[in-house]
């Protein structure tokens, strides 16, 4: 697997207006400007309009609009530092957990604004789960307890129901066969790849609508990576999946739609191109996308 | 499950959510209340230290030795100088041992021997200061036949070691493993890695530990009662009984004279002031590095 | 892989057997010597105190631990009342200080923004440095007076139905000692808990937040369990300080050899009876006081053993090595 380490485009390389072409800038009718690569009539899980995010005074992403198809895998690709992770962390309001973090724009989850006043991030996160870059099982909990960690937020307290749901989640995460004999073992005693699938199980156990995956395989070896990629295809039948990856092959393998982000002259990530995965990899419209996916970038 | 059903599901948990949120608010309130509870008595102590202590401060207070009991006036020069000598000597004795101990634990402490030493250090940290005083009394004072400042320093050093050693170990273990591995990868031996890479990284934490230890022993009177004893007169001879601020505060606090009480407040103010100045100085010197530590 | 090798070298380093570089050998020896010094001090302390207390140990036997009569003029030296005094004051302080301290630590780490948390944290660190004897002075002249005039009468009025909440509040007494100890160990427990809680990785918090946890649930489910052995350690540090705390307690507890009949009665702790009587004691009286110190030492030892085992049980015998 190639790890592309590309330096960001400098302003002199590309004119800025061109950079913003696809995103439509801060159009008053941004709802129409949001790219919709999916066929007409496809249900939409999330739609983001003109989303910008800051860490203190540093702008990490700028004016990104996208509509995310339901029950599909959408990949965000782009070189390191282009704001992919920041962007998806806006979807479940995890971005604001960072110190001095700020978000602007609108994100609609099934039509409801997740940033509307009075909306509790905890409520949003029950519907939009997240798997992190490094596996982060809770070290004091067993495998079962890890998976069951979020169930109490759903009011699931019945022992039998908990163990049913845990089993189902572990099966969905393709981990059940490997851990069924030692469910009482601490979650951190598992291998890295198993830990990440444990975190996936933990996330889907609470039955979110959307699962965000922030470079879920970047800390894993190729075998574990393949397992998780297989898993993702299956999960898409039940969940809307958004995956951040800096690995283009991975995006090509697992996703239905792919968005390419790039850091612009202002240091913030912008959306360059967002189309179906088949299109973007075979027939990129934007020169920079083509350069990136063919490895001729920069 | 369709999105519609899931939304209904969230609707079903609305009551649960309200209870969770309410409990969250209650606990947030409890935390805020705890801050108030914690700060009030401590703020009061500082307030009374200033209010009752400042009137007792004077030139004589710092430059004179105590009058004979009952005769107002005089100062506590002997106690101020004595405290400095005793505590300084305790640091010289205790800090090297403590840091070496901390390094031992973090480097070689992942086995039974290490667990045992760690356990002993924990025990040592829990040893009441007054028993340490009695230990040194039996070991040094009773054998020599007289009280001495050195015995006092020895007692304080024993109190210092576990505090500083434990914190040193913790701080060394907090240093990311990748830093060590990078050093090992370059072929550096262990001692070099520890001294050049690990210790400097952990230095602010270790200094904080030494400060914590210092501030703890500087105010200790109990272990000095039967070791350095106290002295009505000025001396810098470490083989002789020597006065110290905390011990003189103790004596004056329980004494019958109003001017003693006033001087006890003033000494307390000075003692706390010295401790504050030292920590401020450390913070000024290592400020940026101390704040780097999250 | 690399880590395995590292662990292996760590294991073998102590054996000093295989191919250590001279620098490493010296390094191991120097740090190991420091560890031996600690060992010697702890062992020496038990030996020395036992030796000094021997006359009293031989005279009184084991029953002194529950005998409550202490009368030096008749050579009666029962330590029971002092043990009770220590137990009451330090358990009271441990419970209340730990609750408040952990809540404060959580507030500082999880809720307060940096510009609030940093100064408050700093103030807390400084306040941990206030000497025992200063607390004692403040305890007599400020807190004690407040207890006598306001807090004590109020407690009797509203909580008089609770056992032992009666009597006459004075400046000095058991309750003054309990309160001053609580205040004294608060900064210690708070500072250590805060550091431990701050050391919980962000990924742990995000992991539970991503499941829809509220802030308190994040604390309860992710932060406190991760930090629990450290918080327990913080509480133990506080308990150790409370049990051995001498001068502040000596100044405010009222110093009476009687078993206290209520929470406002004067009493003694083990440490305060030593501080108060040792200077005038001679002969068997002196040996008996050293015996009290030996018992105090043994009790702190037991506290630590129990605490250690607890920590081991909680962490499954594994040492919580903080990952990068």
Whether residue C170 is found in the same domain as residue C214: yes
Contact criterion met (CB < 8 Å) for C208 and A150: yes
Whether residue C9 is found in the same domain as residue C111: no
Q: How far apart are the C-alpha atoms of B167 and B206, rounded to whole Å?
A: 7
Q: Say if C120 is an interface residue toward chain B (CB within 8 Å).
A: yes
Which residues touch C301 (CB under 8 Å, ≥6 apart)? B123, B126
Tell me if A54 is assigned to some domain.
Answer: yes
Q: What is the mean pLDDT of residues A32-44?
A: 78
Q: What percent of chain B has pLDDT over 70?
A: 91
Q: Where is pLDDT greater, at C267 or B284?
A: C267
Q: How far apart are the C-alpha atoms of A235 and A169, rounded to whole Å?
A: 11
Contact criterion met (CB < 8 Å) for C214 and A92: no
Look at residues C33, C59, C85 and tell me which one is the last residue of a structural domain: C59
Q: What is the mean pLDDT of residues A120-141?
A: 92
Tell me if C319 is assigned to some domain.
Answer: no
Tell me if C322 is assigned to some domain.
Answer: no
Which has the minimum average pLDDT: A279-288, B94-103, B114-123?
Answer: B114-123
Distance (Å) of CA B113 to CA B225, C22, C35, C300: 35, 22, 10, 22
Kindly calculate the radius of gyration of chain A based on its CA atoms and give it in whole angstroms. 19
Q: Where is pLDDT greater, at C219 or C300?
A: C219
Look at residues C15, C32, C59 and tell me which one is the last residue of a structural domain: C59
- pLDDT of C309 reads 65
| DSSP bridge pairs for A263 | A269
Q: What is the mean pLDDT of residues B205-233?
A: 87
Interface test with B, best of C34, C105, C114 (most B CBs within 10 A): C34
Give the range of the structural domain holding residue A119, as residue numbers without chain letter: 16-293
Whether residue C26 is found in the same domain as residue C67: no
- pLDDT of C20 reads 63
Q: What percent of chain C has pLDDT over 70?
A: 86
pLDDT in tens, C27-78: 888 888 988 998 899 999 999 999 999 999 888 888 888 888 899 888 889 9
Beta strand pairing call for A240-244 and A210-214: parallel
Tell me if A245 is assigned to some domain.
Answer: yes
Residue C121: band (very low, low, confident or very high) from pLDDT cuts 50, 70, 90: confident
3-state secondary structure of B211: helix
Whether residue C138 is found in the same domain as residue C205: yes
pLDDT in tens, C141-159: 999 999 999 999 999 999 9
- pLDDT of C319 reads 40
pLDDT in tens, B140-167: 999 999 999 999 999 999 999 998 998 8
Those of residues 236-255 in C touching chain B at CB distance below 8 A are: 236-237, 239-240, 243-247, 251
Q: How far apart are the C-alpha atoms of A243 and A232, rounded to whole Å?
A: 9
The answer on pLDDT for B80 being more than 60 is yes
Chain B residues with CB under 8 Å of C196 CB are none
Kindly indicate whether the ipTM for this predicted assembly is greater than 0.95, answering yes or no. no
The answer to whether B245 touches B79, Cβ cutoff 8 Å, is yes
Residue B65: band (very low, low, confident or very high) from pLDDT cuts 50, 70, 90: very high
Q: What is the mean pLDDT of residues A26-37?
A: 52
Whether residue C71 is found in the same domain as residue C44: no
Which has the minimum average pLDDT: A102-106, B25-29, B183-187?
Answer: B183-187
Q: What percent of chain B has pLDDT over 90?
A: 50
Residue-range domain boundaries for chain B:
3-56, 59-292
- pLDDT of B294 reads 27
Contact criterion met (CB < 8 Å) for C44 and B276: no
Tell me if A109 is assigned to some domain.
Answer: yes
The answer on pLDDT for A7 being more than 70 is no
Q: Say if A97 is an interface residue toward chain B (CB within 8 Å).
A: no
Which residues touch B199 (CB under 8 Å, ≥6 apart)? B103, B172, B206
Place of tokens 């951190």: A188
- pLDDT of B285 reads 62
Reference C309, options B107, B111, B115; nearest CA is B115
pLDDT in tens, C104-117: 999 999 998 888 88
Whether residue C184 is found in the same domain as residue C53: no
Contact criterion met (CB < 8 Å) for B13 and A154: yes
How much is the mean pLDDT over chain C? 84
Whether residue C45 is found in the same domain as residue C170: no
Q: Say if B2 is an interface residue toward chain A (CB within 8 Å).
A: no
- pLDDT of C316 reads 46
Q: Provide the shortest C-alpha distance from residue A224 to chain B (in Å).
A: 23
Q: How far apart are the C-alpha atoms of C305 and C303, rounded to whole Å?
A: 6
Question: What is the chain C residue with the closest CA to A202?
Answer: C211
B-contacting chains (≥3 CB pairs under 8 Å) = A, C
Q: What is the mean pLDDT of residues A173-186?
A: 91
Reference A107, options A212, A201, A20; nearest CA is A212
Q: What is the mean pLDDT of residues B7-14?
A: 65
Give the range of the structural domain holding residue C239, as residue numbers without chain letter: 63-314
pLDDT in tens, A42-86: 899 999 999 999 998 899 999 899 999 999 999 999 988 889 999
Whether residue C54 is found in the same domain as residue C176: no
Residue A30: band (very low, low, confident or very high) from pLDDT cuts 50, 70, 90: very low
Whether residue C83 is found in the same domain as residue C154: yes
Whether residue C284 is found in the same domain as residue C234: yes
- pLDDT of A49 reads 92
Q: Which of C203, C210, C213 sits opposite A92 (nearest CB)?
A: C210
pLDDT in tens, B156-206: 999 999 989 988 888 888 888 888 888 888 888 888 888 888 888 888 888
Residue A22 backbone phi and psi in degrees, to 5: -70, -30
Q: How far apart are the C-alpha atoms of A10 and B137, rounded to whole Å?
A: 74
Those of residues 48-107 in B touching chain A at CB distance below 8 A are: none
Place of tokens 């990311």: B176
Q: What is the mean pLDDT of residues A33-39?
A: 77
Residue C228: band (very low, low, confident or very high) from pLDDT cuts 50, 70, 90: confident
Kindly calculate the radius of gyration of chain B based on its CA atoms and give it in whole angstroms. 25
The answer to whether C216 touches B27, Cβ cutoff 8 Å, is yes
Q: Which of A132, A140, A153 sits opposite C207 (nearest CB)?
A: A132
The answer on pLDDT for A182 being more than 70 is yes
The answer to whether C79 touches C270, Cβ cutoff 8 Å, is yes
Q: Where is pLDDT greater, at C68 or A18?
A: C68
Contact criterion met (CB < 8 Å) for A122 and C213: yes
| DSSP bridge pairs for A106 | A49
- pLDDT of C119 reads 79
CATH number given to B59-292: 1.10.3720.10
Contact criterion met (CB < 8 Å) for A153 and C217: yes
Q: What is the mean pLDDT of residues C272-285?
A: 92
- pLDDT of A14 reads 37
Residue B88: band (very low, low, confident or very high) from pLDDT cuts 50, 70, 90: very high
Contact criterion met (CB < 8 Å) for A120 and B21: yes
The answer on pLDDT for B1 being more than 50 is no
- pLDDT of B286 reads 58
How much is the mean pLDDT over chain A? 85
- pLDDT of A94 reads 94
Contact criterion met (CB < 8 Å) for A70 and B3: yes
Q: Which of C209, C211, C225 sits opposite A97 (nearest CB)?
A: C209
Direct distance between the N- and C-terminal alpha carbons of chain B, in angstroms, rounded to an integer: 43
Contact criterion met (CB < 8 Å) for B98 and C128: no
Tell me if A86 is assigned to some domain.
Answer: yes
- pLDDT of A41 reads 84
Domain count, chain A: 1
Residue A13 backbone phi and psi in degrees, to 5: -70, -35
Q: What is the mean pLDDT of residues A1-25?
A: 37
Q: Which of B10, B12, B20 sits opposite A127 (nearest CB)?
A: B10
Distance (Å) of CA A155 to CA A92, A150, B106, C153, C319: 21, 9, 44, 46, 34
Residue A166: band (very low, low, confident or very high) from pLDDT cuts 50, 70, 90: very high
Angle, CA of C222, C225 and C227, to the nearest 5°: 100
- CATH number at A35 reads 3.40.50.300
Domain count, chain C: 2
Look at residues C59, C78, C99 and tell me which one is the last residue of a structural domain: C59
Q: What percent of chain A has pLDDT over 70?
A: 88
Tell me if A5 is assigned to some domain.
Answer: no
Reference C220, options C96, C114, C106; nearest CA is C106
Contact criterion met (CB < 8 Å) for B3 and A209: yes
- pLDDT of C308 reads 64
């Amino acid at each position: 697997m190639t790890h592309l380490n590309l330096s960001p485009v400098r302003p002199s390389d590309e004119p800025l207006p061109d950079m913003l072409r696809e995103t439509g800038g801060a159009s008053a009718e941004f709802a129409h400007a949001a790219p919709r690569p999916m066929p007409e009539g496809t249900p939409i899980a999330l739609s983001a309009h003109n989303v910008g995010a800051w860490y203190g005074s540093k702008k990490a992403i700028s004016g990104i609009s996208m509509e995310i198809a339901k029950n599909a895998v959408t990949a965000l690709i782009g070189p390191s530092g282009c704001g992919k992770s920041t962007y998806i962390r806006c979807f479940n309001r995890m971005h604001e957990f960072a110190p001095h973090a700020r978000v602007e724009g609108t994100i609609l989850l099934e039509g409801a604004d997740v940033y509307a006043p009075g909306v509790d991030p905890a409520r949003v996160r029950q519907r939009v789960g997240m798997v992190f870059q490094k596996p982060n099982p809770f070290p004091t909990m067993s495998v079962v307890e890890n998976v069951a960690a979020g169930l109490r937020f759903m009011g699931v307290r019945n022992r039998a129901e908990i163990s049913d749901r845990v089993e189902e989640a572990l099966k969905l995460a393709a981990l059940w066969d490997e851990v069924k004999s030692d469910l009482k073992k601490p979650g951190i005693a598992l291998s890295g790849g198993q830990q990440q699938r444990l975190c996936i199980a933990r996330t889907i156990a609470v039955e979110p609508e959307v699962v965000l995956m922030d470079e879920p395989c970047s800390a894993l070896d190729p075998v574990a990576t393949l397992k998780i990629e297989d898993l993702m295809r299956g999960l898409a039948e039940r969940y809307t999946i958004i995956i951040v990856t800096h690995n283009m092959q991975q995006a090509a393998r697992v996703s239905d739609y792919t968005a390419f982000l790039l850091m612009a002259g202002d240091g913030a990530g912008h959306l360059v191109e967002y189309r179906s995965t088949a299109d973007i990899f075979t027939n990129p419209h934007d020169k920079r996308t083509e350069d990136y996916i063919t490895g001729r970038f920069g | 499950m369709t999105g519609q059903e899931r939304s209904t599901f969230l609707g079903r948990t609305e009551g649960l959510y309200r209870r969770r949120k309410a409990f969250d608010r209650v606990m947030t309130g409890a935390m805020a209340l705890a801050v108030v509870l914690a700060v009030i008595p401590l703020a009061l102590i500082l307030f009374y230290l200033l209010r009752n202590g400042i009137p007792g401060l004077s030139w004589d207070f710092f430059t004179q030795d105590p009058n004979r009991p009952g005769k107002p006036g005089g100062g506590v020069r002997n106690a101020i100088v004595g405290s400095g000598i005793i505590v300084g000597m305790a640091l010289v004795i205790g800090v090297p041992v403590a840091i070496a101990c901390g390094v031992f634990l973090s480097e070689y402490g992942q086995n039974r021997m290490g667990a045992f030493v760690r356990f002993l250090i924990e025990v040592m940290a829990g040893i009441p200061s007054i028993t340490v005083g009695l230990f040194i009394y039996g070991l040094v004072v009773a054998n020599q036949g007289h009280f001495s400042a050195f015995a006092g320093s020895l007692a304080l050093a024993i109190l210092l070691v576990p505090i500083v050693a434990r914190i040193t170990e913790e701080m060394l273990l907090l240093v990311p493993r990748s830093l060590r591995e990078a050093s090992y990868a370059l072929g550096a031996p262990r001692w070099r890695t520890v001294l050049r890479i690990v210790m400097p990284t952990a230095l602010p934490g270790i200094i904080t530990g030494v400060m914590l230890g210092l501030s703890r022993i500087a105010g200790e009177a109990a272990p000095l009662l039967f070791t350095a004893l106290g002295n009505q007169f000025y001396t810098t001879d470490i083989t002789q009984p020597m006065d110290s601020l905390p011990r003189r505060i103790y004596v004056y606090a329980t004494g019958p004279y109003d001017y003693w009480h006033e001087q006890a407040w003033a000494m307390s103010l000075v003692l706390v002031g010295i401790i504050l100045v030292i920590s401020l100085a450390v913070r000024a010197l290592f400020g940026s590095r101390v704040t780097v530590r999250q | 892989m690399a880590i395995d090798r590292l662990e292996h070298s760590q294991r073998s380093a102590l054996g000093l057997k295989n191919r250590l570089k001279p620098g490493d050998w010296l390094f191991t020896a120097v740090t190991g010597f420091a560890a031996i010094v600690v060992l010697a001090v702890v062992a020496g302390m038990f030996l020395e105190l036992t030796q000094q207390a021997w006359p009293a140990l031989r005279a009184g036997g084991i029953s002194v631990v529950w005998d409550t009569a202490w009368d030096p003029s008749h050579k009666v030296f029962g330590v029971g009342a002092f043990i009770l005094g220590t137990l009451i004051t330090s358990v009271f302080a441990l419970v209340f200080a730990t609750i408040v301290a952990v809540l404060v630590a959580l507030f500082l780490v999880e809720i307060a923004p940096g510009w609030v948390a940093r100064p408050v944290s700093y103030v807390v660190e400084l306040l941990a440095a206030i000497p025992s004897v200063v607390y004692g002075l403040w305890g007599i002249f400020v807190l004690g007076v407040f207890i006598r005039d306001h807090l004590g009468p109020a407690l009797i009025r509203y909580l008089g139905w609770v056992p032992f909440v009666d009597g006459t509040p004075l400046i000095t007494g058991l309750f003054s000692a309990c309160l001053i100890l609580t205040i004294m160990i608060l900064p210690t427990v708070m500072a250590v808990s805060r550091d431990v809680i701050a050391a919980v990785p962000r990924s742990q918090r995000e992991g539970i937040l991503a499941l829809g946890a509220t802030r308190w649930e994040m604390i309860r489910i992710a932060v406190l369990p991760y930090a629990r052995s450290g918080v327990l350690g913080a509480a133990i540090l506080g308990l150790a300080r409370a049990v051995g705390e001498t001068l502040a307690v000596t100044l405010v507890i009222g110093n009476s050899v009687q078993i206290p009949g209520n929470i406002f009665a004067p009493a003694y702790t083990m440490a305060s009876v030593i501080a108060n009587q040792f200077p005038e004691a001679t002969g068997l009286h002196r040996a008996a006081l050293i015996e009290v110190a030996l018992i105090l030492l043994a009790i702190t030892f037991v506290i630590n053993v129990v605490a250690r085992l607890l920590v081991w049980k909680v962490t499954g015998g594994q040492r919580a090595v903080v990952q990068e």
